[in-house]
């Protein structure tokens, strides 16, 4: 049993097979780690989950009609993100929109997969992640989309942080809060669509929320939060892929376990720090 | 005579069929502190939103710093109600930095603004907890940081939306005194919306009392008297002058 979970037999032969996955995984983790602190400060984890289900529907639809799965995932994601951005500006409204849209998306996805007559691994992979399926064209797609997300975040960085943390004052200072929240949702949609390719639709939160939440346990310095969040996401993804390579299991349990362990450690450190009191600076 | 910081002429605000207030005239001079009082739902916060350019008047005119009120006016600083935001996870200095460059695009460099953030925090006596997450600060400390944030943009008009709510008596006085001292020093006009009149009373130049769609403007002595408030509320209201402040009795039932 254990040897099925962790197995480094023939590892040297397997590594080249997952080379693309490692590159794609690192890039996607970078994006997840970057966008995570915004997701947490804007209280959007549930939205991430909702978007990923529609992304799954899009990807499985693409699989069924034999077109580009990444493009399908992006279309599904963007539709969900736009819906949430337009319909649910307030958290409460947004959560009910997600509650309505998410099961529909998941249902559609299951329908498409039910109709699909191809390889079973393709189906399961969309929900729980896959490693060997990242071929070179697909990796290029992922890198391009991730680059778009990084550039969009860099441009919006300050007003996005301001309006997420402090919306009333940001609005008073002339920050276009509504436009930013819609733009952010679309950017988030792209990030989710890429994460779905690696960890699968059900476990996107492990890449887009857990690393940021862990980082925010141990520091409040914005630059440190971002750096740690990215570091944790990359560690979980690369570690997860390397561990999964020797086994016959999907990648997601490895990624989520590493991610969750990091969170627990950070949580304990954060509790210690709060107990000791924050160091006063002079 | 110096130019007014903010003016309202025949200002009327309606939400659908409901008239919030009408015929409001106001001339706010530099350095003046105006307290805005009145029952809940009288349109006190709406007045702030009109000055911020977030609400359009149904009739009349509003100007800020000589120009019609517009969205995102940099001449205005805002101190919001406590706990109105998710600001808890950032440090005090980050909140202040938002006031300096949060509206600009791009990532920016924190180091370049560090000295200015420190100076602003020192001005309000918040230097010691510059690096502490806002959620770990007491209510009074949080409002000090808010004052520093609002001053960051060197505003000529400071809008305060219930800044004393949920503070204990001692901190109410301290925060009111801080806002007054900082604004007098820079000739910043202040519009101070509040339920707690006594902490600000020593610093107030004029009072705008809004109730039931009508408003009265004058010195505290003119407005905060039984006769004037009874007329505004359309019911007997008694103002009792004590040694440590005033008490308004009866107004609650009249709302």
pLDDT in tens, B18-60: 999 999 999 999 999 999 999 988 999 999 999 999 999 999 9
Give φ, ψ of A42 to 5 degrees: -95, 5
Q: In this complex, do A169 and B94 lie within 8 Å of one another by their Cβ atoms? A: no
Chain B nearest-CA residue for A215: B89
Number of domains composing chain A: 1
Chain length of chain B: 255
Chain A nearest-CA residue for B106: A155
**For position A27, which CATH number holds?**
1.10.3470.10
- Give the CA count within 13 Å in the CB-facing half-sphere of A78: 10
What percent of chain B stands above pLDDT 70?
95
pLDDT given at position B186: 93
State yes or no: pLDDT of B254 exceeds 70.
Answer: no
Q: Which one, of B150, B204, B156, B154, lies nearest residue B2 by Cα?
A: B156
ipTM over 0.85: yes
State yes or no: pLDDT of B255 exceeds 80.
Answer: no
Query: How many angstroms separate the CA atoms of A205 and A189, rounded?
Result: 13
Query: Do the Cβ atoms of A156 and B102 come closer than 8 Å?
Result: no
Beta-carbon contacts of A227 under 8 Å, excluding residues fewer than 6 positions away, are none
Mind listing the pLDDT tens digit for each residue in B67-96?
999 998 999 999 988 765 566 789 999 999
Beta-carbon contacts of B170 under 8 Å, excluding residues fewer than 6 positions away, are B140
Task: Name chain A contacts of B80, Cβ cutoff 8 Å.
Answer: 168-169
pTM for this one? Answer: 0.91
- Interface membership of A281 toward B (CB under 8 Å): yes
- Interface membership of A90 toward B (CB under 8 Å): no
Query: How many angstroms separate the CA atoms of A273 and A276, rounded?
Result: 5
Chain B nearest-CA residue for A167: B85
Query: How many angstroms separate the CA atoms of B209 and B223, rounded?
Result: 7
Task: Name chain B contacts of A222, Cβ cutoff 8 Å.
Answer: 90, 94, 110
pLDDT given at position B85: 59
Task: Name chain A contacts of B99, Cβ cutoff 8 Å.
Answer: 169, 173
What percent of chain B stands above pLDDT 90?
74
* Mean pLDDT per 10-residue section of chain A, whose length is 282 residues: 74 80 92 96 92 94 90 95 84 84 91 86 76 76 95 97 92 93 96 90 91 94 96 96 84 92 96 74 38
pLDDT given at position B56: 95
- Interface membership of B87 toward A (CB under 8 Å): yes
Closest-CA distance, B157 to chain A, in angstroms, reads 12
Q: By CB neighbour count within 10 A (0-12 exposed, 13-18 middle, 19+ buried), where does B241 fall?
A: exposed
SS3 B173: helix
Handedness of CA A58, A64, A65, A67 (dihedral sign): positive
Task: Name chain A contacts of B86, Cβ cutoff 8 Å.
Answer: 41-43, 164-166
State yes or no: pLDDT of B203 exceeds 90.
Answer: yes
Query: Do the Cβ atoms of A37 and A22 come closer than 8 Å?
Result: no
Closest-CA distance, A48 to chain B, in angstroms, reads 19
Closest-CA distance, B217 to chain A, in angstroms, reads 25
Closest-CA distance, B243 to chain A, in angstroms, reads 37
Mind listing the pLDDT tens digit for each residue in A88-119?
777 778 888 899 889 999 999 999 998 998 87
Task: Name chain A contacts of B128, Cβ cutoff 8 Å.
Answer: 280
- Interface membership of B149 toward A (CB under 8 Å): yes
Pairing state of beta strands B206-211 and B157-161? unpaired
Q: In this complex, do B78 and A175 lie within 8 Å of one another by their Cβ atoms? A: no
Q: In this complex, do B72 and A157 lie within 8 Å of one another by their Cβ atoms? A: no
For residue A87, give its domain range: 2-281
| Mutation for A interface: B107, B122, B159, most A CBs within 10 A | B107
Closest-CA distance, A63 to chain B, in angstroms, reads 38
State yes or no: pLDDT of B253 exceeds 60.
Answer: no
């Amino acid at each position: 049993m254990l040897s099925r979970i962790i197995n480094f037999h023939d590892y040297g032969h397997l590594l080249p097979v997952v080379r693309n996955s490692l590159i794609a995984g690192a890039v996607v983790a970078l994006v997840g780690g970057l966008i995570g602190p915004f997701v947490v400060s804007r209280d959007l984890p549930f939205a991430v989950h909702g978007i990923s289900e529609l992304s799954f529907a899009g990807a499985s639809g693409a699989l069924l009609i034999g077109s580009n799965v990444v493009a399908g995932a992006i279309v599904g994601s963007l539709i969900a993100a736009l819906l949430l951005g337009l319909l649910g500006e307030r958290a409460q409204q947004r959560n009910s929109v997600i509650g309505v849209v998410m099961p529909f998306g998941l249902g559609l996805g299951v329908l498409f997969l039910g109709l699909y007559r191809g390889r079973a691994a393709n189906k399961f992979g969309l929900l729980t992640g896959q490693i060997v399926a990242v071929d070179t064209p697909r990796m290029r797609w992922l890198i391009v989309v991730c680059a778009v997300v990084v550039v969009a975040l860099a441009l919006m960085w300050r007003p996005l942080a301001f309006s997420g943390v402090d919306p009333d004052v940001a609005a008073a200072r002339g920050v276009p809060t509504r436009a930013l929240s819609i733009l952010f949702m679309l950017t988030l949609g792209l990030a989710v669509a890429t994460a779905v390719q690696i960890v699968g639709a059900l476990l996107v939160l492990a890449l887009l929320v857990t690393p940021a939440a862990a980082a925010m346990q141990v520091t409040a310095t914005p630059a440190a939060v971002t750096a740690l969040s990215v570091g944790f996401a990359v560690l979980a993804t690369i570690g997860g892929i390397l561990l999964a390579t020797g086994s016959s299991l999907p990648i997601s349990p490895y990624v989520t376990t590493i991610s969750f362990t990091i969170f627990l450690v950070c949580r304990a450190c954060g509790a210690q720090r709060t107990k000791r009191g924050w160091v006063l600076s002079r | 005579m110096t130019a007014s910081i903010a003016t309202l002429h025949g200002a009327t605000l309606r939400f659908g069929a409901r008239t919030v207030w009408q015929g409001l005239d106001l001339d706010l001079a530099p350095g003046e502190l105006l307290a805005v009082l009145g029952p809940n739902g009288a349109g006190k916060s709406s007045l702030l939103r009109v000055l911020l350019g977030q609400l359009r008047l149904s009739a009349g005119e509003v100007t800020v710093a000589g120009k019609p009120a517009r969205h995102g006016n940099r001449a205005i600083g805002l101190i919001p109600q406590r706990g109105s935001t998710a600001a808890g996870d950032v440090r005090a200095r980050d909140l202040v930095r938002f006031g300096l460059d949060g509206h600009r695009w791009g990532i920016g460099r924190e180091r370049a603004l560090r000295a200015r953030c420190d100076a602003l925090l020192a001005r309000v006596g918040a230097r010691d907890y510059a690096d502490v997450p806002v959620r770990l600060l007491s209510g009074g400390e949080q409002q000090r940081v808010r004052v520093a944030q609002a001053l960051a943009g060197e505003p000529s008009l400071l809008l305060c939306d219930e800044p004393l709510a949920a503070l204990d008596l001692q901190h109410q006085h301290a925060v009111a005194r801080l806002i007054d001292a900082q604004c007098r020093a820079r000739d910043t006009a202040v519009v101070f919306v509040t339920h707690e009149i006594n902490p600000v009373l020593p610093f107030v130049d004029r009072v705008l009392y809004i109730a039931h769609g009508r408003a009265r403007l004058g010195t505290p002595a003119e407005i905060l008297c039984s006769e004037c408030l009874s007329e505004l509320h359309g019911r007997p209201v008694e103002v009792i002058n004590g040694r440590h402040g005033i008490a308004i009795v009866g107004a609650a039932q009249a709302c």
